[in-house]
Amino acid sequence: MKFTSISHIEKLKASGEKFSCLTAYDASFANVMSEVGIDMILVGDSLGNVVQGQKTTVPVTLEQMEYHIECVSRGNENCLIVGDMPYMSYSTPEEAYDTARRIMQAGAQMVKLEGGAWLLDTIQGLTVRGIPVCTHLGLTPQSVDALGGFKVQGRDSDGAQAMIDDAKSLEAAGARMLVLECVPSDLAKQIAQELTIPVMGIGAGVDVDGQVLVLHDMLGISSFQAKFVRNFMADAKGNIKDAIKLYHDEVKAERFPASEHSFE
């Protein structure tokens, strides 16, 4: 069984080829994503919204993340699996090490956490312990209350520079990948160009290295459709497998996201 590796994603960035990522929470969808060629699966704490019906991702527990990562791992054949570290499960480096251990033992090949410069010691500690880290800047759902709601981040010059500085610091600390969420396209493009690690966008324009969407959003079955979401299920005339394949193909061809799915 051959799995997509982090080094393979890094090679895609180096060659200029885009990579695709979707969230999954169970074995069946993981298997479909493997079959159609999706590069990465994010087992996201977005399961709180789309599976549990929560208003935010905050209530999601580590035990729940472990369960869903185990399910996805059983159905996966070749995708790189990234597992979210849930709310307040990495508030100290020591806590982060234990959380990462559990996420990796459940079946992930990389852990993802949200935040900027305050995470530098944690990322350094995880890295030297052999834990690949994906970081997350921009709209960070676990901090949505502190951010004042679901808003585009980095639109003013101070905010943009702070995000650039954070991104560079996170890379220097050892992060192997970065997610930018709800970030103006030009800013996201600049960050992707200035970093050597792959930069994955969700609502960050087409000029980053890869794209991620929440599965339920791109299938058009979520209760709320954000500006950056395209309903691939409608485009595929109701066929789930075709919708996932279409998403993968559109990302690779740089036809998604289009300008109507991006922020200025």
What pLDDT is recorded for position 224? 83
Is 46 known to sit in a ligand binding site?
yes
Which one-letter DSSP state was computed for residue 79?
Answer: P
DSSP 83: E
* The total number of structural domains that make up the chain: 1
114 is in an annotated binding site: yes
Q: Which long-range contacts (CB under 8 A, 24 or more apart) does 90-98 make?
A: 90/119, 90/122, 92/122, 93/121, 93/122, 93/125, 96/122, 96/125, 96/126, 97/125, 97/126, 97/129, 97/131
pLDDT of residue 6: 96
CATH number of domain containing 59: 3.20.20.60
pLDDT at 229: 96
0.75 surpassed by pTM: yes
Domain assignment present for residue 257? The answer is: yes
Residue 215 is assigned to a structural domain of this protein = yes
For 227-250, what is each residue's pLDDT tens digit? 999 999 999 999 999 999 999 999
Any domain includes 109 = yes
Residue 3's pLDDT is 67
Cα separation, 185 vs 181, whole angstroms: 10
At a CB cut-off of 8 Å and minimum separation 6, what does 66 contact?
102, 103, 106
pLDDT reported for residue 143: 81
Distance CA 161, CA 47 (A): 31
Nearest to 163, CA basis, from 196, 123, 194: 194
Residues that are catalytic: 181
The confidence score (pLDDT) of residue 225 equals 86
Inside any domain, residue 107: yes
pLDDT at 148: 64
What was the pLDDT predicted at 12?
A: 96
CA neighbor of 108 nearest in space, from 176, 35, 156: 176
Q: Is 89 annotated as a binding residue?
A: no
CB 19 within 8 A of CB 209: yes
Let me know if residue 117 belongs to a domain: yes
The three state secondary structure string of 85-153 is CCCCCCCCHHHHHHHHHHHHHHCCCEEEEECCHHHHHHHHHHHHCCCCEEEEEECCHHHHHHHCCCCCC
CA 134 to each of CA 137, 221, 253: distance values in angstroms, whole numbers, following the listed order: 10, 27, 24
Give me the pLDDT at residue 262, please.
95
* 45 labelled binding-site residue: yes
- pLDDT at residue number 1: 43
Is 48 part of a structural domain of the chain? Answer: yes
Percent of the chain with pLDDT over 70: 97
112 labelled as ligand-binding? yes
For residue 85 the two structure tokens come to: 């570290």
d(CA 195, CA 122): 20
CA distance 118 to 108: 24
Q: Kindly report, residue by residue over 146-198, the tens digit of the pLDDT.
A: 666 678 899 999 999 999 999 999 999 999 999 999 999 999 999 999 999 99
Judge whether 1 lies within some domain. no
Cβ neighbours of residue 16 closer than 8 Å, sequence gap 6 or more:
none
pLDDT tens string 45-88: 999 999 999 999 999 999 999 999 999 999 999 999 999 999 99
| Domain that residue 152 falls in | 6-261
